Structures are given as C-alpha cells and as structure tokens.
Amino acid sequence: MRLKILALVLARGKSKRLPKKNLKKVGKKTLVELAVSSGKNIKEIIDVLVSTDDKEIFKLSKKAGALVPWLRPKKLSMDNTTSADSALHALNWYEKFVTKVDGLLLLQPTSPFRTKKTIRDTIALFKKYKPRQVVSVSYTKKKGNFVNGVVYLTSPIKLRRHKTFYHDDFLPLLLKSKKECLDINTIENLKLARKLHYNK
C-alpha cells in the first residue's frame, strides 16, 4: 500500500539575521517556491502545505501550486515558536479536514538545493523502518554526524508524542553534497547559493 505523506513548508514572514529570507531568490525562484517545487511530482506526497503568517508568501505559495488554507496564527509565528509547534498545528488541521497521513515531511525553504532523489531516499528509509523518524545529516571529522536541515520525515504519532522532528532513535540519512546541504540564514549564505546556482 502506498504511503501518504504530507509535505510541509514552514515560512514565516519575519527573520532576524536575513530579513524576509523566504522571499529571497536563488535563480528565478524564491526560497519558498523552491521548497514547494521540491515536494512536487513525488508519488507518496499527497499535498505540499505551506504554513505562513505572511500575505506575500501566502499568494506566492498558492501560485506555485501549494495548499495554503490559512494564515498561521500570530501565537505560532513568534521568535520562540518551535518548528514542531507550527507543524502540529498544520498536521492537526490537515488530518481533521482533509485526510489522515502516514508521515509529515518538513521541507525548510533555507535548503534550496534539496533534490528529489534525497526526498525519495528519505521516504524509502521511512517506509522500511516507520514509525522511526528520518533526518538528513552531514559528516565532518571534527563534528561527526550533525543534522543539516535538508529533510525531516516523521510519523504523526512520533511528532505528537515527542514534539520534535528528531527524537533519540531517529534514522540518519547521510548527504555528501556540500551544495545540497547549504543552509541559508545570512546574506553570505545567500550570496554563496546564488554563486553556486549560476556556476552549476
């Protein structure tokens, strides 16, 4: 039986280090559009839902083909709001008004070079070992394996129980591409991403 995965893009309007970062462009698309498109045309993903408090992101995400059912409540758009809190809000709404799902896949806009192969590999690993969470990691000799933010896939039961995308027994998916693992949070990160895009 085919898995039913809900892809979720969390995209606040405000950001401290890089103002309006989710609306910054790498190539011809904004970071939020790139996140939405990365979740498209993957058979297990039944919807790509964007949770945002920003009207511009709301309109752009709808145009990109995402499900954007509401503007996120202000209480879930604060600096101290966790990804898990916002994700649970979206998951609870989706399972109440649309359908139950087997997994929730978090696609952060700050990883513009995420590949569909990585998403498919994540889903394959999750399918084999569910309900364990699958999280992408990078490796360096100095730090060992560390979470890089490219993909997170959790079962609803794990997210509700632990309020996190990577509890103690999560499965690491090792990504070796430094380009894919680039995480945009500063103007320097953005400049590097644009350089990598145009030099591909």
The full set of domain ranges for the chain reads 5-198
Q: What's CA 28's distance to the chain center, in Å?
A: 20
Which of 176, 132, 179, 182 shows the shortest CA–CA distance to 153?
Answer: 132
Evaluate if residue 121 carries a pLDDT over 70: yes
Q: What are phi and psi of 31, to 5 degrees?
A: -60, -35
Evaluate if residue 1 carries a pLDDT over 80: no
Cis geometry, peptide bond prior to residue 156 (ω within 30 degrees of 0): no
Give the list of residues 6+ apart from residue 100 with CB closer than 8 angstroms, or none: 4, 156
Give the list of residues 6+ apart from residue 115 with CB closer than 8 angstroms, or none: 38, 180
User: 200: which 2 tokens?
Assistant: 């591909």
d(CA 39, CA 9): 9
Evaluate if residue 200 carries a pLDDT over 70: no
d(CA 123, CA 7): 11
Give tens-digit pLDDT for 68-107: 999 999 899 888 889 999 999 999 999 999 999 999 999 9
Whether 166 and 84 have beta carbons less than 8 Å apart is answered as: no
The model carries a pTM of 0.97
d(CA 190, CA 34): 14
Give the domain 5-198 fold: Spore Coat Polysaccharide Biosynthesis Protein SpsA; Chain A (3.90.550)
pLDDT at 195: 97
Which of 79, 105, 78, 80 shows the shortest CA–CA distance to 90?
Answer: 105
Which of 115, 127, 131 shows the shortest CA–CA distance to 181?
Answer: 115
Mean pLDDT of 52-75: 97
d(CA 140, CA 14): 32
Between the CA of residue 184 and those of 27, 63, 148, 193, what are the distances in Å? 14, 23, 11, 8
pLDDT at 38: 98
